[in-house]
Each structure stands twice: as C-alpha cells, then as structure tokens.
Amino acid sequence: MNRQTIKKTVLGLFVVAALLAAGVAGGLWWGGRHAPADDTRAAPAQDGRTVLYWYDPMVPQQKFDQPGKSPFMDMELVPKYADEGGDAASVKIDPGVAQNLGVRLAVVTRAAFGTDVTATGVVGFNEREVAIVQARSGGFVERVASLAPNDVIQSSAFIADLLVPEWAAAQQEYLALKALGDASLEGAARERMRLSGMPESLIREVAASGKVRNRIAITAPRGGVIQTLDVRAGMTVMAGQTLAQINGIGTVWLDVAVPESQAGSVRVGQAAEAAFAAFPGKPVPGRVTALLPTLNGEARALRVRVELPNKDGRLRPGLTAQVSLKGNAGESALRVPTEAVIRTGRRALVIVAEAEGRYRPVEVTLGAESGNDTVILSGLAEGQKVVASGQFLIDSEASLQGIVARAGETAAARSSSTAGVAPAALHEADGVIDEISAEYVTLTHGPFKTLAMPGMTMEFPLASPKLAKGLKAGDRVRAGARETDDGLLIEKLDKTGDAK
C-alpha cells in the first residue's frame, strides 16, 4: 500500500467518525426535546381541549410532550386529548352540534306487537270467472255484433248468428217421426238433435212450432270483458272452434308482493284492505285467498292473492293499490322506529344516546316490521334512547374514529365489567404489495384515515402466515391494521386486484 492510499484511508475514517458524532449529538438533542411524557402531566389547552400528549400512530406506546415530526416515520405526531379518555366505543357530540344536525331521539318501548303487513298490489282478472264461447257444430257465420276485444258486455249479449246446415236434416227427421205418433222413434230423433250440438232451447222451439230452425244466435254466457273475439261475418267455423273468451269482473284479484321478512305473518283467510289512489278515501275490503308457490323474482317477495268485490265494475286490471293485511296482536316485544335502524347489508345497527352527549353504535338483531316500527330481538333494553334522525352522520363520525359497533348491553353490565371497553379498532387502507413473506409484508399504501396517517411505503408484521397465502408482489390489496403495544399489526389482507 503506497503513502497516498494510506492518507486517503485515514481521511475517510476521520469523516465517518465526525458523522457519527454529529448523529449522536442530534439524537441527544431530539431526545431532550421529545422526551417521553409523564402520563400524569397535561399540556396547556389547545383550541379549548386539553392535550395529554402527542404520539405516532405507528408506535402508539411512545408518547411525546411536544408536537413535531415523528422520529420513526415521515409524518406529524398526533395529539391525544383529555376528553378522549372516556369510553372508546362511543363518540361525543356537543349538544349544539347535535341540534344543528337535526338529531332526534326515540325511546325503546315494549308493547304487544301486531302482525299487520303493508304491501303493494296490482289488480288482475279473477281467472275463475272465465267463459269460453265455442261453436257446437260446423257452420257459417252470417252476422256479427259490433264488438271488439276489451269491450265490456252484459250477460246474454248478442255476439253472432250461425247457420248450421246439418241441423236442418236432423230437425226434419224429428218432425216426420213426431207426425207418425210413435213416441219411441220421436224420442230417438230428439236425442240425435241433442247429440248434434243443438241447444235444448232450440229443440223445444222446433217441437212447439213444427218448423225447421237451422240458425242460432250466439250470446254471451256471462257479463264481463271480451278477452278475445275470433269471429267474422262470412267465415266458416268448425265444431268446437273458440269464437270468444269473456272474463268476468264481478270480483278481481290483487297480486300483492309481500317482503320475505314479513311472509311469515300472512295466512289464507286473513282480512285485507286495499286503498286505491284512483279512489281516495274509499278503501275496498277483501281477503287473502292464496299464497302463491312462486316468488316475485325481481322484488324477492312472496306473491299473495287477495280477492276483492267489484260490484260496480270500477276496479280494472292494472290498477295499483296499497294493501294492508290485518293480523292479530302478537306477544309483547321491544320495538323502535324503523327509521332508527341502519342496515349495512350484513348487519343492522342503531345509535344509542347516552349521558354527557355520547352516542354508541350498537349491533342489533331485527324481528318483524309493522307500520312504522320494527321489533328488536336482541341488542337493546327497554327505556334506552336511540337516534331516529341524523344517525347516519353519527355513524360516519364513529367510523372515522375507528369505533366498531358491537352487540348491545346494559349500562350496568358495562360498568360492572372491564370487558365493556371496545376492542382496538381495525384501521383500513388500500395498497400494493412490494414484498411479502409468512411473517412480514411491505406495502405502498394509501392513508389510514382513522389514524390520521398519510400514505407511504413501510413494512408491517402479519398476525398470521395464512394472510400471505395466494398473494405476491404487485398485488393490490385492502389492508386492515390493528394498534398494539408494538405498533400496527396487519390482521386483514384482502386481494382487490392482480399485479399490473
């Protein structure tokens, strides 16, 4: 080694030593400025709120008595306020703010809960009141009434005149045998006329008048709406051919869509009342005649048939009605206004109002609905107050603070049990995997909003090796982290997209 090389080596060692000394001095300065705070000492009030200490959400167990940059991450320290030291499972809202938000409370009550069901129905024809008009024998249509499909006609209304040539021969034979005076032959000829399709009224007319009657007037066997009309003047018809179809409108059917959650409260024979927008103030009484075996595929609702009287004929197919299915008073049950329930798709929540302006999200089990109320099977107690208006804003605030709703319990149970404190919240963010193993994952993630933590790239420990199964570098994921004494621990790692 020459002298020049030795000089360069010695100079490099001096530079490294100087840098180390500067680092140690900086660390001592930072440690003196950001010494761990005494838990019993509170900083002066800031914006009317007392700050207990500042902390890094990534290392929550380390506390500092001054704001500033975190020594662990490139982010600002977060303040911990004195008024946040209460129940971690509730959110506190100033009464003035609650009034501005339009927060309205309702009391959880216990009362006999009826099984009335309200649903929407559509009027249709009573399919049991259908009449088919057919030609009894082949012939020719000579005259047709001025009618068209969807016309409303009365019973015995004229439809068409039909000439039946073969009836003439049968009638002439009958009249000839009748003139002989042989009762047995006359009876046989009369039976042949009957078998040829001749109506009994026409046979009696031929016997009484002694004249051939081979024309017949086709009339409506019942009143109602003409559904089909397949007869025209001059056409030839065959025996058994359908000329018209008539649907009676003396009674109509309502096809009512009852939600699946209320299907158990409906039974055959149940009284019903239909209110039509076309006839305000004039409800029509009826009854349930059938629970149809198929569901309404679009609305996922039970199809219920309600029969309504229609003596004046004003109820026409296609009209819609609001139907109330009357039920008997049920057993005593807890009930809250239906508007107080927040349905997320996987569970149901209510916001319980507590003392000192605190609000707690509580998971509940729902029962049947009737009118404006819903039965609560579990999660609440009689006398509690729930938020009936403005609850979505409070639930959003609770979510931002990482408060997780849990099954409800009484205040006495919460005060007598240390288990009353809600578990640490699961904070979520979207990110991309840079590296992953059975124990650690390196993520380039977006902000953890509930931690006030900006997006960055860092390594996290995994709660279980199973979280890494099926994942690789480059995959997009939804990460869920929980605060522990050792920092953030990844407990959820759901894949949202493949590597680009």
**Tens of pLDDT, residues 434-479:** 999 989 999 998 888 776 678 888 899 999 888 998 899 999 888 9
| Torsion angle of C-alpha atoms 132, 134, 140, 142, degrees rounded to 10 | -30
User: How far, in whole angstroms, is CA 362 from its chain's centroid?
Assistant: 21
- Which of the following CATH numbers is that of domain 426-497: 3.40.50.970, 2.40.50.320, 3.20.20.70, 3.40.50.11540? 2.40.50.320
Task: Give the pLDDT confidence of 210-258 residue by residue, as tens digits.
Answer: 888 888 888 999 999 999 999 999 999 998 899 999 999 999 999 998 8
- The pLDDT score that the predictor gives to residue 407 is 61
Please tell me the distance from the alpha carbon of residue 313 to that of residue 296, in angstroms, as a whole number: 28
Q: How far apart are CA 392 and CA 350, in angstroms?
A: 10
Q: What is the mean pLDDT of residues 347-366?
A: 86
Strand ranges inside 238-328, DSSP E: 242-247, 251-259, 271-276, 284-296, 301-309, 320-325
Q: Which two tokens stand for residue 215?
A: 């024309």
Predicted local confidence at residue 247, as pLDDT:
94
Mean of the per-residue pLDDT values of the chain: 79
Q: Is the pLDDT of residue 411 over 60?
A: no
Please say whether the dihedral angle defined by the alpha carbons of residues 405, 411, 413 and 418, taken in this order, is positive or negative: positive
How much is the pLDDT for 8?
Answer: 42
For residue 87, pLDDT over 70 is answered with: no
Q: Break the chain into its structural domains and give their ranges.
A: 3-83, 91-115+331-420, 119-126+249-327, 133-225, 426-497
Q: In this predicted model, what pLDDT tens digit does every residue of 294-329 receive, in sequence order?
A: 877 676 788 999 999 998 888 989 999 999 888 765
Q: What is the mean pLDDT of residues 128-142?
A: 91
Pick the CATH number of 91-115+331-420 from 1.10.20.10, 2.40.420.20, 3.40.630.30, 3.40.50.720: 2.40.420.20
SS3 158: strand
| pLDDT for residue 10 | 36
Asked whether the beta carbons of 469 and 459 are under 8 A apart, the reply is no
Checking 471-474 for CB contacts under 8 A at 24+ apart, the result is 471/433, 471/436, 471/441, 471/495, 472/433, 472/436, 472/499, 473/433, 473/434, 473/435, 473/436, 473/499, 474/432, 474/433, 474/498, 474/499, 474/500
CATH of region 119-126+249-327, choose from 3.20.20.70, 2.115.10.20, 2.30.110.10, 2.40.30.170: 2.40.30.170
Burial 50-60 (b: 16+ CB within 10 A, else e): ebbbbbbbbbb
